[in-house]
Structure 1
Amino acid sequence: MPTRRSLLKTAVFAPFLPFSSERFSTTKPNRLKPGDTVGLICPAAPAYSRETVQITIESLQALGFKTKLGTHFYDRYGYLAGHDADRAADLNAMFADSSVSMIMAMHGGWGCARILPLLDYELIRRNPKILIGYSDITALLLGIHAQTGLATMHGPVGAVTWNSFSVGWLREVLIDGRAVTFQNPEKKEDNLTQTKDRIFTLRSGQARGQLVGGNLTVLSHLLGSPYLPDWKGKILFVEDTHEDIYSVDRMLTHLKLAGVLEQLAGFVFGKCTSCEPGSGGYGSLTFDDVLTDQVVPLNVPAFAGAMIGHITDKFTVPIGINAEIDADKGTIRLLESAVL
């Protein structure tokens, strides 16, 4: 099966639409309430396992919600969950369905960028609701935010581990509607000091701005399209998985050359899981080397290691919501609720 990296190289983006994110202020969706319906869709990779789908349904039911599957939920077209038009139709239908309060992607994978030109952004603006996911879903989170102003949620997809950490943050942000402070767990376990989920301060200080971000690979492949927000004064958070160090370096360089990094008020790199130096040739830079080269010279507060990414324990981070980061403490503090 093709890798995510090889698939992303084939992405073809649509022509510019006649409007951009600068027209819209942020619109917040309504918070989740007991008895609400969560619409499950597959906008990228197919739903390979019916057992995994059933676990997702039962987990959402355990939280007090009903579920509804998209019409084309179980479709498959190669490595995609059906044809582009059908995947887009499912997402449009979920926004149009007044009985659905939250739309959750079942999987990431690849394919969301392909349906961005097929979405009904006027429909979405008229029917704001929670859209949540991560990895390839970044394309939808950023594209819809850029084209409508809707605050979207970088958080669990259906096929995650529904543990107390991830569910707890989802509950606080989307159900309780709290202006939370995201901070990594402090666990020494059977060690003299903490060895896991540590924060690495790149540049000390505090910064305020709207949160934007997601998967670094997906985000960088959207550059040059109308599906990214304005970067001025924003706090950018990124994450990735199974990327060579040179690839991370290349994508951060791309953001730098495109003028993105120089506009930021702050920067957070979550987790880059399985992003280890290669062993061939003349050796490799390390992940720390790349962040030191690319991020430290920006001279804005920045840190790495936040619980954002392809990990079991993850935050639910809103896009388009004002926040303050403290690079010394490794915290992201929401300055407002992400939902109404």
Structure 2
Amino acid sequence: MTGERNTGTAGTLPPPRLTPGAVVGVAATSAWAAGRFPVRTRRAVAALERELGCTVRLAPEGRYAGSIAGTGRERARALIELFADPEVEAVFTTIGGNNANDLLEHLDPLAGLPPKILVGYSDNTALLLGYQALTGATVFYGPALLPQFGEWPEPFPETTSHLRATLTAGSGGVWPLPDWWTQPCGDWASADQEVRPRHSGGPRVLRPGRGEGVLFGGNVPTLGVLAGTRWLRPPDGPTVLCLEGTAAGASVPAFQQSLTQLRHLGIAGRATAVLVGRTPGGPHAPERDEAFHRILLDAFPGDVPIVTDLPFGHTDPVLTVPLGAVASVGAERDRAPVVRVLEAPVL
């Protein structure tokens, strides 16, 4: 080990757990997709109901400026209606996009409602962290309706089993880390029903060490969009920083730019451990990996453990990461890392 980062720290407020037979709402928070891919949407709704034993309530999806699922006000209204509905116990997103931050200025009513489970990733980093800033609730960086539950012929069991354990059983404990991965699907309009090739390989310990803190982070370009706003409230103390990017956002220059901004915001300086989701784009050339690892090593002090190629973000299968919960990280050379959530993510 190169060092140890430790803390006694408090996380956010866990929302109530998902119960059998519950109603789960799904909202289009950014891109217009359910209407564009109706076959995949029907398959995804059926899979979500089957995997969680729930009834899905799909919020109305508008369309604005071609590819956006309605104006920010319209999308926020649909989301608020799901949170205000006493039958709805959890809210998922249909997909990411580029415009989830449009909702934030319209979401103040959520602060007066009981906290609920909110699940999403990618551009929905803005929604998750904005909701967390308003309510103080734990949020869940995890699967979305169309990308994960619309998988053909069915969702990956590694994705759904961890989601169930997190949201229904309230399991913290050690993250299960698959030893294989696959790239997200391409154009659903032309290749919706295809079996994707699997690649062998699990997480990689870039720098060994131990750390403990509050899980925080998400999609790195979207974190930058929130900079300087009231919707970005990182933990005050030690932080287990979770970072991932799209193919463009995970390029070496773009990712370095994002790391620099996190340092300027004071977030990188509170990191006790850094967890990096597998970067998309397929198997990379050794020189690209070397450059990517170099910028990570240079961005954080030498006693901060760094683990890359973790199963969250723009990869499959994906974990459900409870942002706001306290976790510990143990990383040793030539051994699988151990990420342990130290408290129940739901009540």
TM-score by length of 1: 0.83
1:56 aligns with 2:49: no
Pairwise CA distance, 1:76:
3.9
For 1:318, the equivalent position in structure 2 comes to: 322
Pairwise CA distance, 1:133:
0.7
Tell me the SS of whatever aligns to 1:184. coil
Unaligned segments of structure 1, at least 5 residues: 1-23, 189-194
Partners of 1:211 and 1:237 within 8 A in 2: yes
For 2:28, the equivalent position in structure 1 comes to: 42
1:251 aligns with 2:258: yes
Partners of 1:197 and 1:306 within 8 A in 2: no
Once residues 241 and 11 of structure 2 are traced to their aligned partners in structure 1, the CA distance between those partners, rounded to angstroms, is: 18
Match of 1:83 among 52, 55, 71: 71
Partners of 1:92 and 1:120 within 8 A in 2: no
Once residues 206 and 290 of structure 2 are traced to their aligned partners in structure 1, the CA distance between those partners, rounded to angstroms, is: 17
1:152 aligns with 2:139: yes
Instruction: Letter of the 2:20 partner, please give it.
Output: P
The 1:52/1:270 distance shift into structure 2, 3 A limit, reads same
The superposition leaves residues 36-67 of structure 1 with CA deviations (integer Å, 9 ceiling, x where unpaired) of: 01101101001221112111210122121101
Alignment of 1:1-340 (within 5 A): 26-47=12-33, 48-63=36-51, 64-71=53-60, 73-121=61-109, 123-159=110-146, 160=148, 161=151, 162-186=155-179, 196-231=200-235, 232-243=237-248, 244-274=251-281, 286-295=291-300, 297=301, 299-328=303-332, 329-340=336-347
Runs of 4+ in 1 over 6 A off after TM superposition: 275-278
How many percent identity over aligned positions? Answer: 30
The 1:286/1:36 distance shift into structure 2, 3 A limit, reads same
Once residues 98 and 289 of structure 1 are traced to their aligned partners in structure 2, the CA distance between those partners, rounded to angstroms, is: 49
Instruction: Letter of the 2:243 partner, please give it.
Output: V
Pairwise CA distance, 1:230:
2.9
The 1:114/1:176 distance shift into structure 2, 3 A limit, reads same
Pairwise CA distance, 1:288:
1.7
Pairwise CA distance, 1:145:
0.9
Once residues 315 and 346 of structure 2 are traced to their aligned partners in structure 1, the CA distance between those partners, rounded to angstroms, is: 24
For 2:196, the equivalent position in structure 1 comes to: none
The 1:187/1:56 distance shift into structure 2, 3 A limit, reads closer
Partners of 2:108 and 2:134 within 8 A in 1: no
Partners of 2:219 and 2:245 within 8 A in 1: yes
Tell me the SS of whatever aligns to 2:175. strand
The superposition leaves residues 148-178 of structure 1 with CA deviations (integer Å, 9 ceiling, x where unpaired) of: 1011100000012321010011011111111
For 1:5, the equivalent position in structure 2 comes to: none
Partners of 1:306 and 1:330 within 8 A in 2: no
Once residues 300 and 331 of structure 1 are traced to their aligned partners in structure 2, the CA distance between those partners, rounded to angstroms, is: 15
Once residues 25 and 221 of structure 1 are traced to their aligned partners in structure 2, the CA distance between those partners, rounded to angstroms, is: 24
Partners of 2:15 and 2:116 within 8 A in 1: yes
Partners of 1:242 and 1:275 within 8 A in 2: no
The 1:147/1:198 distance shift into structure 2, 3 A limit, reads same
Instruction: Letter of the 1:176 partner, please give it.
Output: A
Partners of 2:210 and 2:328 within 8 A in 1: yes
Partners of 1:173 and 1:180 within 8 A in 2: no
Partners of 1:276 and 1:287 within 8 A in 2: no
Once residues 121 and 180 of structure 2 are traced to their aligned partners in structure 1, the CA distance between those partners, rounded to angstroms, is: 25
The 1:275/1:223 distance shift into structure 2, 3 A limit, reads farther
The 1:67/1:222 distance shift into structure 2, 3 A limit, reads same
Partners of 1:183 and 1:330 within 8 A in 2: no
Unaligned segments of structure 2, at least 5 residues: 1-9, 182-198
For 1:9, the equivalent position in structure 2 comes to: none
User: Aligned residues, how many?
Assistant: 305
Pairwise CA distance, 1:276:
8.4
Partners of 2:49 and 2:55 within 8 A in 1: yes
Instruction: Letter of the 1:129 partner, please give it.
Output: K
